Structure 1
Amino acid sequence: MASGARTRRKNNTPADKQKSNHNTLAKSMSKSISSSSLFASFKKHLIYIPLIIMLLAALFLLSISSNTFSAIRSRTDSPKNYVVEVVNEFPHDPKAFTQGLLYGGNDTLFESTGLYDQSTVRRVAIQTGEIMTFHKMESSYFGEGLTLLGERLYQVTWLKKIGFIYDRNDFSKFKRFTHQMEDGWGLATDGKYLYGTDGSSTLYHIDPQNMKVIQKQVVTYNGHEVHNLNELEYIDDEVWANVWQTDCIAKISPKDGIVREWILLQSLREGLLASGRKNFDVLNGIAWDKEKNRIFVTGKLWPKLYEIKLLPMKKELHGNIGDICMPKRFVFGTS
């Protein structure tokens, strides 16, 4: 016999077939489990999609230029404009060069008038215009702004850093003071401090105990200075200021000096002209009756005192508010 190895063909037994089937099933289950885990992981991460969207939106908003936001803000914060409705008309001394005006209680006003050798402090009955109490100043003084704090009337004078304090009940009792403003134009009070103007764009905060300036603010509108601030009144946490040589009143925030709103009173001048009046000067004088919430205005050499009510302007303004209410600063003694 020849020697050598004989190869035998191996046949699969039932046990081998069962083992093979088990391996196939295990692989199939492994694939199924892997797919299921992947799907569960995907579902889990779905919750982050809204956060990603929000983050992208925030980045988009931040990418908007600051100029765009400024434009939106300026449109939103633009001051309102008001016109006035005349509630009542009262007689007013047409020879009174009104420089300061305030409510004195019991239907009366305190008034300071100007012009050399004609300046006065007076108490006037609103209904009749009758002068009830009268003090004539020395001829060298030109009377200006006036305000009442407690029982004392404070008055400043033009072109001098000098003012006077009067007893509200007896004008003959007064004392003199000096102040730190560049000039004396307007005065008002919030019941604690005084506010003053000197014809510039500056609003002064003054301690009435020593007349020292404790704060100065530049009054602005849309970033531009508002010059020629004149007679003042403090109304509902705002300082109202006549702007000299205009028919406008600026409503100023004493916190930051920004003009929040404008009041346009051209209709009063137009009414005087329509009635044949000619020899009258500029709008000047604001008084507030806090108890009855009445607002009074008049002007220099005006024959009438007006009780007014503010109405939001509905018609479009003809012209720019800056051109109407914000003339360039006028400095006396210059051209």
Structure 2
Amino acid sequence: MPNRFYFNFACINYILLKPMKPVAFPLIPILILFITAFSCSSNSSKPRKPVSSIAVQPAKNNYVFGEKVSVNVKTKTRDGQIESIKLYFNNTLIKESKELDFTVENVLIEKLGSGNFTVEAVKTDGLKNSRLLVINTISDVFPEKFTYQVVNTFPHSKTHFTQGLEFYNGFIYEGTGEYGTSGLFKTDLRTGKTLQSHMLADQYFGEGITILNDKIYQLTYRTQKGFVYQLSDFAVIDSFQFKSKEGWGLTNDGAHLIMSDGTHVLTWLNANDFSVVKTLEVANNKGIVNYLNELEYINGTIYANVYTTDLIVQIDPDTGKILSQINLAGIINIYKNNQDKIDYLNGIAYDNKTERLFVTGKLWPKLFEIKIIPSK
């Protein structure tokens, strides 16, 4: 009968059924297995964070402003107890509960563009976790469509790369762009003659302008800097920084500055300290509208050029809904010639006293007074 040897090491029996030969036991791998098992056992006893999920019904790619939805929140815990579960909609708390599964009905969606639901779940041991769900909202308004009728034509400098336009006390004020030729100009409407000017330093690309409380405010393109001028003599009396990456159009509502930055977002600024008062996302019934450019505040609404298009859109300043759009296609066509560098439509000015509306564009030879008429 063959010899039988038994070997016991770390609770593992080695049974050798043949005569024993010299064996080198793998001590290091066995120790690693032992340590790993101990480590895994230790990790499994660590407290776990709660995990939540958010479901919005009905499920859609785009929600409509004014729509009501239900929001279901489910939370799982592997250990411990829940202290609280909070549900926020656009950073406003709408429900707090200790239930692991709850639903909030009739949540009203009244913010255009990007919105979000956030759940924050906290356990009694202090461990917490959060979950974010982003939704998109379009407008419930189908914009009215308008075209135009030219009432009058006035001269406009073919060297002015128009970025801002304003009619004030009988004169045209204009902010222009391009590095090395950016400036601020006061011109005679009838003759187009420059009456007053101020040139920006070469490192600045001038952008939108607006007049408020006997001051002219002007943005620059990518320096996140604006300038404040005295209306009477264009003396620079202040400068300011803004948070938007780019400055595009500028207007005011009589109290605050309102700026565009080339996206679908408008930003209200305090006219004294230039802090952000609010932001507003702009959308129509199809989605957000980007490239909002030169702005004009007219009778309680905001008119904006849409960059690279022939469109001006009318915006509700409370909701961001586009109420109407004006198509100015063809307005400059008869004045084009092969020698001129005519760029995009950009520039809206309004005479509050006579209710005249003026438009022009970058490097355009003409400025137009137009009447808005319904599209056929």
Matched residue, 1:225: 288
271 and 80 in structure 1: CA distance in 2 versus 1, 3 angstrom threshold: farther
Q: Secondary structure at the match of 1:227?
A: coil
Matched residue, 1:280: 342
Displacement after TM superposition at 1:77 (Å): 4.1
Matched residue, 2:152: 88
How far apart, in 1, do the equivalents of 2:271 and 2:244 lie? 13
Displacement after TM superposition at 1:174 (Å): 2.5
Matched residue, 1:171: 234
Alignment size in residue pairs: 241
Stretches of structure 2 that go unaligned for 5 or more consecutive residues are: 1-63, 68-137
Greater RCO (CA < 8 Å, at least 6 residues apart)? 1
Q: Secondary structure at the match of 1:171?
A: coil
How far apart, in 2, do the equivalents of 1:203 and 1:118 lie? 27
- Deviation string for 1:83-131 (max 9, x for gaps)? 010000000000100000001212x111000000100101011000000
Matched residue, 2:273: 210
Matched residue, 2:361: 299
Matched residue, 2:209: 146
Q: Structure 2 matches for 1:38-187, cutoff 5 A?
A: 77-106=141-170, 108-187=171-250
Question: What is the root-mean-square deviation in Å for CA atoms of aligned residues?
Answer: 1.9
Question: Identity over aligned residues, as a percent?
Answer: 38
How far apart, in 2, do the equivalents of 1:277 and 1:88 lie? 24
Matched residue, 1:29: none
How far apart, in 1, do the equivalents of 2:232 and 2:168 lie? 11
How far apart, in 1, do the equivalents of 2:327 and 2:181 lie? 30
Residue pair 1:180, 1:211 contacting (<8 A) in 2 also: no
Q: Secondary structure at the match of 1:221?
A: coil
How far apart, in 2, do the equivalents of 1:258 and 1:177 lie? 29
Q: Secondary structure at the match of 1:280?
A: coil
Matched residue, 1:310: 372
How far apart, in 1, do the equivalents of 2:277 and 2:302 lie? 17
- Deviation string for 1:134-157 (max 9, x for gaps)? 101100000000000010000000
How far apart, in 2, do the equivalents of 1:202 and 1:161 lie? 16
How far apart, in 2, do the equivalents of 1:270 and 1:224 lie? 30
Q: AA paired with 2:166?
A: L
For normalisation by structure 1, the TM-score amounts to: 0.69
Greater helix content: 1
Moved >3 Å (runs of 4+): 275-278
Q: AA paired with 1:248?
A: L
Q: Structure 2 matches for 1:262-277, cutoff 5 A?
A: 262-273=325-336
Matched residue, 1:193: 256
How far apart, in 1, do the equivalents of 2:242 and 2:287 lie? 27
Q: Which has the larger radius of gyration?
A: 1
How far apart, in 1, do the equivalents of 2:173 and 2:263 lie? 25
Stretches of structure 1 that go unaligned for 5 or more consecutive residues are: 1-69, 315-335
For normalisation by structure 2, the TM-score amounts to: 0.62
How far apart, in 2, do the equivalents of 1:147 and 1:202 lie? 18
183 and 127 in structure 1: CA distance in 2 versus 1, 3 angstrom threshold: same
Displacement after TM superposition at 1:181 (Å): 2.0
Q: Secondary structure at the match of 1:103?
A: strand
Q: Secondary structure at the match of 2:331?
A: helix
- Deviation string for 1:214-238 (max 9, x for gaps)? 1111100115010001000000111
Select 1:247's aligned residue among 274, 286, 310: 310
